Amino acid sequence: MSVVEPKPEPPARPEAGGVESPSVRSLAEVPTRIAVLGNPNVGKTTLFNRLAGVRHKTANFPGTTQEAHLGRLVGGSSAASGEAKASAPLLIDLPGVYSLSLNVAEAQICRAVLAGELAPMGTTPAAPDALLVVVDATNLLRTLALAAEAAAMGKPMVVAVNQMDVARRRGLHVDADALSQRLGCPVVAISARTGDGIDGLVSALRQPVQPLKEFGGLGERSEIEAWADSVYAEVASASSPVSNKLADRLDAAFTHPLVGVGLFAAVMTGLFWVIFRLANYPMDWIDALFGWAGGTVAGTLPEGPIQSLLVDGVIAGVGATVIFLPQIVLLFFLLSLLEGTGYLARAAFVIDRLLRPFGLSGHAFVPLLSGHACALPGIMAARAVPDRRDRIATILAVPFMSCTARIPVYVLLTTLLFPGRPGLQALAFTGCYALGVVAGLVTSLLFRRTVLKGKSLPMALELPAYRLPDLRLALLTTRDRAWVFLRKAGVVILGISVVLWWLGTYPQSPPPREAVELQAVATAIETTGQEVWVLESRPAFGLVQGEAVSAAEVRAQAESIAARHSARRTVLGRLGATMQPVFEPLGYDRQLVIGVLASFAAREVFVSTMAVQVIGREDFDEDNGIQDALANAKRDDGTPVFGTATSWSLLVYYVLAMQCLPTLAVTAREAGGWKWAGLQLGWMTMLAYVLAAAAYRIALAMGAS
């Protein structure tokens, strides 16, 4: 079937109904604002990207979590440029809806935008002067009803019949001319994925036509459906029986209670394997880039507070955030590709059965999955959960998933707990992930039975047709998500890093007597140009009798003592000493409390904070000796900082505690208020505190040190 091009002139219409001529019903000028309306899964966003190009903006509708894509009508082969682009009609991509009259957030937003009462953030609310309604050629009967509702609003419009390429392959034929006659406005057959018919659609959008007035009489849902039935019978036909045995077989496997779960596990294992495997390379590059930047700045600027702020505050803080970008980008890219194939809808169907007992729906599985990379995109992905209670329960459960920021802490603690026993380390590592998942599910169950009590909406899920994923759409989605992550998390992390740097630097104190004396010893050794033997052990100086030491070793020891001395007297250090009694039941000493407090905003900061305190250096990842130093670090009373019981307690604490300020901010935004963020913080902190204290006591009772 060839793609049906739009007629340059508005279509002829039946004379019945006393309506005016098409020329009167079309706009005198090119519309300035066009709303794009359509059912979910009709390829609306793919089409929008075709029409608006890659330079469109993504914004939220104010007061909602619904994203709005905004762009200028610049697509097609005769794409405009320069000034023409600026004056091109504004396209507003509305949320996908099955009906405008439904009492759901998406439909409310559509109604408000169409009435001119709401506009995406950054634009002035104004009623669109034309509509682009997208219907699906492979599912025309159901998607036609929305076109009828749109026509009933009386605005000039154009209908795009999308997925004509898929329909053609299935032997389906849609007569766009006949549909145009029935609607009274231009109807263009297109394939947003391949670009067929886009030029014709762009032309038609420059001259949309008001549909027939008879739609004003379609009030009841039954009348709309009856109209859709009659139109469908007239405009759609199948040249061969519509059968898709392969799709049926795939559906049977993907939605099978056992096979489906197994396939889901295999797909997700593969997804994470790819993410962790591939993300390592760009993560290393980013790490090296920020290391180089830090080294360059340190080498360029003279030593002092400004250099320290830039290197230890700004570069280290931003680097600590940006290093997780590859995982986030890969996660969203691969999820977008999977979604494009139609598999994710099947997976959600299967997982729904597993999550229901915990008060979550199948829609929650993508957020929970994403939460294993980072809670921020996980919580943002909860927008796809249609039921409000389910959505908030999902948001509250996501931060329990073990995100990549926890990994450095897990690595440190499992290595300290089981040195030289990788099998047990891996087991403990897996146990951390399992504990997080269990805690998330229990949290959901608890809140769904208390503050979020109420019956869930049954999961009504459309299983879209299997198709090849749209690479362009996946790339654009990934770009949007990456930008949101960098903008939100980057600003917050940068601010927190700088503030923590200041609190951990001031007030400064002069080096202690031991450090001064050691520096003098180092200078003396340097004058001899040789190593010297330690004649007498001086534990306070880190010197052991009979060992040979160089000037550099002595100087490093002096700097380490000075750094620890200084760290205790900073605002953060004093705060640690003050708060230590609170963490006493968990087995934490002053140094650990500083590590916990410093990592309140970002948990991955714990490792570097401990490294700074224990040995006065931050190069934990670059030097295995630092791990030994942490393992041998002593408290003020001479006992190990990381005793076995304390390490178990810390492990449990970091699995369960919030320790991520950006997550709280995103929770407040996505759940619709700071009360949810407060509840999340309170619940997670309390659970972490109680269970970490229990872990500490149990470990002590079992004979751990």
User: Which range in 56-64, 193-201, 357-365, 616-624 contacts another protein by CB under 8 A?
Assistant: 56-64
Letter string b/e over residues 453-473, b meaning 16 or more CB atoms within 10 A of that residue's CB: eeebeebebeebbbeebbeeb
| Strand ranges inside 466-509, DSSP E | none
Residue (81 or 222) nearer to another protein, CB: 222
User: Which range in 149-157, 278-286, 329-337, 577-585 contacts another protein by CB under 8 A?
Assistant: 149-157
Alpha-carbon distances, residue 305 vs 161, 498, 504, 508, 572 (angstroms): 63, 12, 12, 11, 17
Write the CB contacts of 283 (distance below 8 Å, at least 6 apart in sequence). 323, 324, 326, 327
Residue (221 or 449) nearer to another protein, CB: 221
User: Which range in 68-76, 153-161, 460-468, 692-700 contacts another protein by CB under 8 A?
Assistant: 153-161
- Per CB under 8 A, does 306 bind another protein? yes
Whole-number Å distance between alpha carbons of 566 and 508? 6
> What angle separates helix 407-417 from helix 644-656, to the nearest 10 degrees?
160
Sketch the per residue contact string, 666 through 685, with another protein: x for CB under 8 A, - otherwise: --xx---xx-----------
From the list 296, 299, 665, the residue with the least C-alpha distance to 484 is 665
- Per CB under 8 A, does 63 bind another protein? yes
- Per CB under 8 A, does 109 bind another protein? yes
Residue (64 or 180) nearer to another protein, CB: 64
In whole angstroms, the minimum distance from the beta carbon of 110 to another protein comes to: 9
Interaction with another protein in 235-274: which residues (CB under 8 A)? none
Can you tell me whether residue 103 is helix, strand or coil? Answer: coil
219: which strand partners?
none
What is the rounded (10 degree) CA torsion for 653, 656, 660, 664?
-140
SS3 content of the chain, % helix, strand, coil (to 5): 60, 10, 30
Give, as one character, the DSSP assignment of residue 61: P
Give, as one character, the DSSP assignment of residue 358: G
In whole angstroms, the minimum distance from the beta carbon of 491 to another protein comes to: 5
User: Which range in 47-55, 489-497, 617-625, 636-644 contacts another protein by CB under 8 A?
Assistant: 489-497
In whole angstroms, the minimum distance from the beta carbon of 111 to another protein comes to: 4
The residue from 167, 176, 496, 561 that contacts another protein (CB under 8 A) is 496
Alpha-carbon distances, residue 449 vs 169, 442, 683 (angstroms): 49, 11, 15
Q: Which helix (H) or strand (E) covers residue 85, if one does?
A: helix 83-87
User: Which range in 291-299, 485-493, 553-561, 644-652 contacts another protein by CB under 8 A?
Assistant: 485-493
In whole angstroms, the minimum distance from the beta carbon of 142 to another protein comes to: 18
Interaction with another protein in 267-296: which residues (CB under 8 A)? none
Alpha-carbon distances, residue 465 vs 404, 469, 548 (angstroms): 34, 11, 73
Whole-number Å distance between alpha carbons of 555 and 568? 20
Residue (148 or 549) nearer to another protein, CB: 148
Q: What DSSP string describes 333-345?
A: HHHHHHHHHTHHH
Interaction with another protein in 608-667: which residues (CB under 8 A)? 661, 664-665
Residue (275 or 496) nearer to another protein, CB: 496
Residue (54 or 499) nearer to another protein, CB: 499
The residue from 304, 423, 539, 581 that contacts another protein (CB under 8 A) is 304
The residue from 454, 495, 510, 678 that contacts another protein (CB under 8 A) is 495
Phi-psi region of 277 (alpha: psi -120 to 50; beta: other; left: phi over 0): alpha
Give φ, ψ of 451 to 5 degrees.
-70, -20
161: which strand partners?
135, 189
The 3-class SS string of 381-401 reads: HHHHCCCHHHHHHHHHHHHHC
In whole angstroms, the minimum distance from the beta carbon of 507 to another protein comes to: 5
Residue (127 or 437) nearer to another protein, CB: 127
User: Which range in 278-286, 299-307, 447-455, 614-622 contacts another protein by CB under 8 A?
Assistant: 299-307
> What angle separates helix 422-448 from helix 388-397, to the nearest 10 degrees?
150
The residue from 42, 133, 140, 492 that contacts another protein (CB under 8 A) is 492
33-38 vs 172-174, strand pairing mode: unpaired
In whole angstroms, the minimum distance from the beta carbon of 66 to another protein comes to: 10
Write the CB contacts of 497 (distance below 8 Å, at least 6 apart in sequence). 313, 314, 316, 317, 318, 320, 602
In whole angstroms, the minimum distance from the beta carbon of 383 to another protein comes to: 15
Residue (64 or 646) nearer to another protein, CB: 64
Residue (105 or 417) nearer to another protein, CB: 105
Residue (433 or 506) nearer to another protein, CB: 506
In whole angstroms, the minimum distance from the beta carbon of 695 to another protein comes to: 31
Q: How many residues are recorded in the chain? A: 705
Residue (101 or 705) nearer to another protein, CB: 101
- Per CB under 8 A, does 152 bind another protein? yes
Residue (117 or 234) nearer to another protein, CB: 117
User: Which range in 107-115, 191-199, 328-336, 343-351 contacts another protein by CB under 8 A?
Assistant: 107-115
548: which strand partners?
533
Give φ, ψ of 140 to 5 degrees.
-65, -40
Token reading at 73: 């009508």
Residue (117 or 636) nearer to another protein, CB: 117
Sketch the per residue contact string, 111 through 140, with another protein: x for CB under 8 A, - otherwise: xx-xx-xx----------------------
Residue (125 or 262) nearer to another protein, CB: 125
Q: 34 with 75: CB under 8 angstroms?
A: no
In whole angstroms, the minimum distance from the beta carbon of 374 to another protein comes to: 17
- Per CB under 8 A, does 101 bind another protein? yes
Interaction with another protein in 190-219: which residues (CB under 8 A)? 216, 218-219
The alpha helices in 605-673, defined as continuous H runs, are 605-615, 624-631, 644-656, 661-671
In whole angstroms, the minimum distance from the beta carbon of 495 to another protein comes to: 2
Sketch the per residue contact string, 498 through 527, with another protein: x for CB under 8 A, - otherwise: xx-xx---xxx-------------------
| Residues contacting another protein: total by CB under 8 A | 47
Whole-number Å distance between alpha carbons of 569 and 577? 10
Q: 493 with 662: CB under 8 angstroms?
A: yes
Q: Which helix (H) or strand (E) covers residue 92, if one does?
A: strand 90-93
Nearest-Å Rg of the Cα atoms of the chain is 31
Residue (513 or 675) nearer to another protein, CB: 675
CA angle at 540 for the pair 534 and 544, rounded to the nearest 5° = 25
In whole angstroms, the minimum distance from the beta carbon of 348 to another protein comes to: 27
Token reading at 164: 């004509």
Whole-number Å distance between alpha carbons of 37 and 96? 7
Residue (499 or 552) nearer to another protein, CB: 499
In whole angstroms, the minimum distance from the beta carbon of 103 to another protein comes to: 11
Q: Which helix (H) or strand (E) covers residue 68, if one does?
A: strand 67-72
- Where do contacts with another protein occur on this chain (CB under 8 A)? 61-64, 100-101, 108-109, 111-112, 114-115, 117-118, 149, 152-155, 216, 218-219, 304-306, 308-309, 488, 491-492, 494-496, 498-499, 501-502, 506-508, 661, 664-665, 668-669, 673-674
